[in-house]
Structure 1
């Protein structure tokens, strides 16, 4: 491919260098932000050699060129005066349902904060426990300092949300933080505390407390992002850098105090009243339903939609009973994984069950669900039933969290207070019921026998010379069709056919013996060519180019010789998901046009070294 000529043609067909606001790339595509999309010659671009597909996604013009994108990108930087910019996370809005859009929006705003929230929540719970046991008093200097450390994130939550919302809505983060900061400015806070009358050019301002609030600032930053786009197109290039922030601050701070504050506060009150109505109608039923269905929501990824409810409960009532009711469901999955570990005699199953149990105890249940309980089916249902029983007990107890925290053994002090003893009983009964139920009833001999035979066959496959038409699994996890991947390029098979894996272990292995043909600079993608000529692209996660290499450690480089089963790299699943990114990892054949067909099995789960894809010559 003539990268220099292709780069020149692309720049010309997107309206020239002056029409380009920014240029970035991921593993397979160039991402443009353009001033005027009407200047794009889309048809001409699709005819260029090396271009696979073009598309508009979330305000970006994207050109898919495959694994050679890095070489093309470097050539474009040489050709122009552009500088590389990290792209914002984007998704196609065309195929997403309203529910998926809402969940994606909420997770994108809140998940970056969950790690800090969990740490602050644990510290706050420990302080509550220390005061209750007489180890500290609220007047002690140690308590005052540590309480400030634990509570500052929640008190200034709108400022943190302003930053994450700005990243999600693609607004200027520092302007967003300035808007949120104005809500906490001493003069504004004093006016609220002293109940002073305030107006803005004759328009009365309804002052309120914004500490720990959620909805007002999200509404404000969403509108800010839309207004920013208008202003950037309105102001000349020479002055917009200064005049756009000036206009945004002058308009959005008053608008937030006059409109979004009252609207958001009213919505928060309604949400709190609605939750209270459901909980007060029958805490037992609410707890049972929460305990049973919580992990079902986790499977479909819509559990993130509940996060605003828990935060709103803390803001409105100073406590949250919902987090308490779902804690048994989380520990129950850990218990079920432990039951499998105790029951099975298979070393490979034990190797998955042990870390899955530990992760579940600390509140991360995906390894237990995808690696163990769903794999054997019955343990998942047993854990859901145990979670329902524990949830009902916790619901009746009246226990609640006093701070945000990822439910697990480290955050139990957060629930200290009313009903704490009964809460602990509900949590541990769920854990032990799931463990005992799984041990005695969760593993069927036939299923385990089939698993043993399958694993032995796969082990033999890995330890002998692999057929040159086979691509082995580079990851361990759940297998899904590409059509369910939340990325148009992969789901449409524009790059090539294959499958996607939702990994439960952060180890990437070679799917065959061959050569490393490309390693993405941020280490989240790798291209390989087998000795027989099969070209494979492995992309860890969706849109993980934005992590800029964080959580990835590639052990090989371009040109290296690798053998099947050899470890290629490591990645931190918890770290990636904690930043709000999907770890679903496509594995595709990029030169499938050279073969008659590419076939995949019908297995729902895979282990490193399993037969994953077969090319038909």
Structure 2
């Protein structure tokens, strides 16, 4: 069994099963499902799975936030679901907004990691050159620059491939359209085609190849229908490449470049009107955009600018937000007396410093909304400073501390380094001080009371005829010899798990106490006979609500003990657990 097989199994089961899944993709930290019916997905259960941070409904996608190891979970899910990687097929109707977000995600997300990697290489090259390790005229500088710059120069080829997959065109045809559009001898030179004089450049562009591929896709589909099978395997791509590339080069490309210039000019106009205001807005709202999954729009616009050789003024305003979020988490870790919260803060802080803030947002700050607001304030202040300083994204790079080299220009690196360091300190200091001053541990219930879920005589867990339960391997608790074949909810909570055989049910209280009610010893072998469930997995239940009924006499006739085990499965979260057996209360767990 692979490391994530169990997690994927439970995710698939609780999103409504394989038949409810239309498609699956992923980004840096999230699995992004397209579901036929999102109402079938059981949010509460998925959120409580070990390995899941939280669940989001955004842009027509069912998003499960996993964290840094999302790629491994995605690979396991693809294997289980028999999906090809980066499967984007979908049949359901989407709103215009959802279609737009889906289009951006499908075309750009597969390339984000390699874009970041190449950007980091360029940033490293700049640092080494600035440090005097070598000069910008040396052979090694030129070679490393080529490695880092290659994806930007040949970006139409990459985007051609991704766009072809999205528009259902042969991916290799999409690649060749991109390659033809950035062929060196036709870019930036005077050409006369059909009597029309042209001088255009498509290297390092985005829109021309996307629109050309969008035109080529229906063309290929039509040709494959009308051409004989004997010749269509080579005539179809020949005709598609020839016609779409000429149209792309002469008509679509110039229009697309004009649109790109308008978009870039509009963004620059907003920024130039007030860099300070732009910085405050982008820095302050960035994490909110991340929560709703719409931040990719600004990322894509930045990619378009950078690919065209134009430094992007917008994305640089969000660079320091990760440090603001991390600072809040560090303040909480230092201030809190809650050991469990403290243990969650440390990995979230480390992750945040490297730009992955979802664990911090969903696990720590968003549930404590004041802390989330403080992180947004820190982001706004640092963004405002970045705007005033004129910091701009010169190339794509990594995230967090690895994102800073993205702002290094070819000249004036030292100045930018000082400005970036100042913005980092501002983001960290403002957020840390405010969080440390205003954070207080939430008042929490000191005592969890577990009512008698089954009527009968109570006996110590150590006396049951099952070593695992008797030795407390699954947690502390008690046993009941039932006098009535009914099991009730011991508190207000949620049904966490219901075994198919109905002999065992897991329930978590509203305060986080996880209890397993296990009816009988080895009764799993009855395969559900004599048991009837009155609730389903994921249901909210009230104290005293009937969960499961069972036939005591029939179970005994089959030769099984009906001893019912009441186990607190998260016993380690409590300082003391004791059997009360008084006034209807079976157990008390003290924090």
Fold match (TM-score > 0.5): yes
Change in CA separation of 1:268 and 1:31 when aligned onto 2, cut-off 3 Å: closer
In structure 1, what is the Cα distance between the partners aligned to 2:399 and 2:125?
A: 17
Shift of 1:130: 2.3
In the other structure, the counterpart of 2:89 is 90
Shift of 1:351: 2.4
Given that 1:326 and 1:391 are in contact with CA atoms closer than 8 Å, whether structure 2 keeps it comes out as yes
What are the superposed Cα offsets for residues 348-377 of structure 1, whole Å, 9 maximum, x if unpaired? 212222111111111111111111110111
Given that 1:158 and 1:212 are in contact with CA atoms closer than 8 Å, whether structure 2 keeps it comes out as yes
Is 1:437 paired with 2:376? no
In the other structure, the counterpart of 2:117 is 119
What are the superposed Cα offsets for residues 546-592 of structure 1, whole Å, 9 maximum, x if unpaired? xxxxxxxxxxxxxxxxx989xxxxxxxxxxxxxxxxxxxxxxxxxxx
Counterpart of 1:396 (choices 385, 388, 392) is: 388
Given that 1:390 and 1:426 are in contact with CA atoms closer than 8 Å, whether structure 2 keeps it comes out as yes
In the other structure, the counterpart of 2:544 is none
Change in CA separation of 1:534 and 1:159 when aligned onto 2, cut-off 3 Å: farther
Q: Which has the higher contact order (CA 8 A, sep 6+)?
A: 1
Given that 1:320 and 1:401 are in contact with CA atoms closer than 8 Å, whether structure 2 keeps it comes out as yes
Is 1:198 paired with 2:192? yes
Alignment of 1:226-237 (within 5 A): 226-237=218-229
Is 1:424 paired with 2:418? no
Q: Which secondary structure does the structure 2 equivalent of 1:28 belong to?
A: helix
Change in CA separation of 1:217 and 1:449 when aligned onto 2, cut-off 3 Å: same
Counterpart of 1:254 (choices 230, 246, 249) is: 246
Shift of 1:454: 8.1
Shift of 1:157: 1.0
Q: Which secondary structure does the structure 1 equivalent of 2:333 belong to?
A: helix
Shift of 1:315: 3.8
Counterpart of 1:408 (choices 396, 400, 405) is: 400
What are the superposed Cα offsets for residues 107-163 of structure 1, whole Å, 9 maximum, x if unpaired? 221111111111111111121222233322122111111111111011111111111
In structure 2, what is the Cα distance between the partners aligned to 1:324 and 1:248?
A: 40
In structure 2, what is the Cα distance between the partners aligned to 1:469 and 1:158?
A: 62
Alignment of 1:54-69 (within 5 A): none
Given that 1:175 and 1:245 are in contact with CA atoms closer than 8 Å, whether structure 2 keeps it comes out as yes
Counterpart of 1:302 (choices 288, 294, 298) is: 294
In structure 2, what is the Cα distance between the partners aligned to 1:374 and 1:113?
A: 29
In structure 1, what is the Cα distance between the partners aligned to 2:159 and 2:280?
A: 32
Q: Which runs of 5+ in 1 are unaligned?
A: 1-25, 33-82, 471-497, 500-510, 515-528, 536-562, 566-592, 603-607, 611-617
Q: Which secondary structure does the structure 1 equivalent of 2:270 belong to?
A: helix
Alignment of 1:147-226 (within 5 A): 147-189=145-187, 192=188, 195-199=189-193, 202=194, 204=196, 206-226=198-218
In structure 2, what is the Cα distance between the partners aligned to 1:290 and 1:455?
A: 47
In structure 2, what is the Cα distance between the partners aligned to 1:601 and 1:340?
A: 31
In the other structure, the counterpart of 1:280 is 272
Shift of 1:288: 0.6
In structure 2, what is the Cα distance between the partners aligned to 1:87 and 1:114?
A: 13
TM-score (norm 2): 0.63
Cα RMSD for the two superposed structures? 3.9
In the other structure, the counterpart of 2:18 is 27
Counterpart of 2:237 (choices 236, 245, 265) is: 245
TM-score (norm 1): 0.60
Is 1:532 paired with 2:503? yes
Single out whichever of 248-257 and 304-313 deviates more from structure 2. Answer: 304-313
Given that 1:207 and 1:257 are in contact with CA atoms closer than 8 Å, whether structure 2 keeps it comes out as no
What are the superposed Cα offsets for residues 396-421 of structure 1, whole Å, 9 maximum, x if unpaired? 00112221124411232232335442
